[in-house]
Structures are given as C-alpha cells and as structure tokens.
Amino acid sequence: MKIEAVVFDLGGTLIEYAGPYAVWPDLETPGLLAAYDYFQRKGMALPAFEQFRDTGFAILPGRWQGAVDGQRNLRLVDFIGEILHSCLGANGVQPTWLVEAGNAYQDAICSQAYLLPGTVAGLEAINGQYKLGLLSNTMFTGDAHISDLQRFGIDKYFDAMLYSADTAKWKPQPDPYLQVLADLAVDPAHAVFIGDAPAHDVAGAHAAGMKAILIRNSDRFPMVEGVVPDGVIYELTELPKLLMEWQRELD
C-alpha cells in the first residue's frame, strides 16, 4: 500500500505563531491589542484594554470548542464582534470596521511568526515524492496564512490547502481531512497527516482513515489517553526517513 500524500498542520508544525506567550489563549494578546487600538482610533468608547482582553479570553475557549466539535464555525470577525457586544452591548459597529480590526489582529499575530526548525529542509526532502497538502484549524482568513507561506517561501510545496474558518470545517471532524484528500485525489488509506495536537491532529486523521504522525516540538498540547500516533518526530527533518521506513514495510 503506497503512501501517496502527506498533509501538514500549520501552526506549531510548520510555522510558530505564539510569540512570547507560552499558553493559549494568552498568545492572542497582540491581536486583541491591535484590534483594540484600531477601535480606539475610530473614536469608540471602549473599556480598559484589560477588560477587552479578558472578555476575549473568556469567550474564545468555548467558541473554539464549539467549532472543533462541529457545532458552529468560528471566524475572527465574529469573535471580535462578540467581544464588543459583551463589553458595550448593541454597539452598532460598522461591518467594515470588524473586517479591518480583524486584519489588524491577524497582522499583529502573523508579524511575529517564524518558521520552525527543519521546515524547509523537511518539505524539500519529500517534495516531488508525494502530493503535499495543508490543513489548519484557524479563525483567521486563509489569505492571511497564504501570505505567511509566501513570505517564508513555502507556498510552492502545497498542492491543496484548507483553512477551517473559510470552509466551516474543523479538525478533528473527518470532513476537512477528506476535503483536502479529495482535492489531492488521494484515498485516505494512502495518506499521512503530521501535526502537533494529539486531540485534533492525530484523532482527526485516524477518524478520516489516515496514518498520523505527531511532531513533539513543544509541550503546548498534552497527550490524550487512547489517542496513539503511528509515529513521533521532533523536527520535520526526521520525516523523510520515517516515511521511507514505512514505505519499505508496506512494500
């Protein structure tokens, strides 16, 4: 059974977005500050930033869980709107302001991003041997992340990409995996997924019928009882060797 496709998670697997913050949702702080500053420049009467930030921190975990459970999509513009509504009530903010504040939020987070060690070498080593895909749980627009890939020169490697907020398809539901594989024209049994979150990346890939590799380059996500990856690596430079070993076993 030949391996034909390799699909990657984005944040924490290829690119690190966390900046100086060790835990989520604290790492959303630069984005929240950028949105807050945008609304201030528009003359809105806002509470102190700490209240704005903490309101966002209180809202986001539940909204994110609802998205990964497949109950409701999560987009950045809606999240920012919910913060304003919670802080100010019916505020009548213009929709274009939410979009522009969202862009400021994305820019603040993305501007501090950097490639994780081994990303380019790992991608280059398997480029041309497999079809490559990318699947990211994100409330950002896909355009924001595509800009990141272009800035780091790695957009050229991917034959198909899916960003959850754009499609209302979230890991660990099988749908986003199956959509990317359909775009690649590869059966799940011939595909491998690589990500850093056991509960989302590994469990979701298995639910979709794929093999799953866990990349342990941080301790951000705990291991989950009953969720066992098919392989573990610590940097993407280890990926080609593992895939080659698997291919020899399958042959």
The pLDDT tens digits for 127-140 are 999 999 999 999 99
Structure tokens at 127: 């480029």
Q: Do 157 and 194 share a domain, yes or no?
A: yes
- pLDDT confidence of residue 234: 94
Domain limit, last residue, from 88, 110, 132: 110
Per-residue pLDDT tens over the stretch 16-68 = 999 999 889 999 999 999 999 999 999 999 999 999 999 999 999 999 999 99
Q: Would you say residue 237 has pLDDT above 90?
A: yes
Name the residue with tokens 């019928």: 209
Considering the domain architecture, whether residues 134 and 184 belong to the same structural domain is answered as yes
Asked whether residue 87 falls in the same domain as residue 203, the answer is: no
> Based on the domain organization, do 119 and 240 belong to the same domain?
yes
Total count of domains within the chain: 2
Same domain, residue pair 103 and 124: no
Indicate if 186 and 233 belong to the same structural domain. Answer: yes
What's the whole-model pTM score? 0.94
Closest of 184, 146, 173, 161 to residue 73, by C-alpha: 173
Helices (H) and strands (E) in the chain, counts: 10, 8
- Token pair for 108: 């603040």
Domain range for 215 is 5-16+114-250
Domain assignment of residue 21, yes or no: no
**Residue 54 is which amino acid?**
D
Residue 234: closest CA among 204, 213, 212: 213
As a whole number, the mean pLDDT across the chain is 94
Assess if residue 203 is contained within a domain.
Answer: yes
pLDDT of residue 144: 97
Residues 238, 171 share a domain: yes
- CA-to-CA distance for 140 and 135, rounded, in angstroms? 13
Handedness of CA 47, 48, 49, 54 (dihedral sign): negative
Task: Give 243's Cβ-side CA count (13 Å radius).
Answer: 23
The last residue of one of the domains, among 110, 131, 153, is: 110
| The predicted structure's pLDDT at residue 94 | 87
> Where residue 152 falls among pLDDT bands split at 50, 70, 90?
very high
Contact in structure between 83 and 10 (CB atoms under 8 Å)? no
Domain boundary among 110, 137, 165: 110
Position 218 pLDDT exceeds 80: no
User: For residue 110, what are the contacts with CB-CB under 8 A and spacing of at least 6?
Assistant: 17, 140, 144, 145, 147, 148
166-215 pLDDT, tens per residue? 999 999 999 999 999 999 999 999 999 999 999 899 999 999 999 999 99
Do 77 and 129 have their domain in common? no
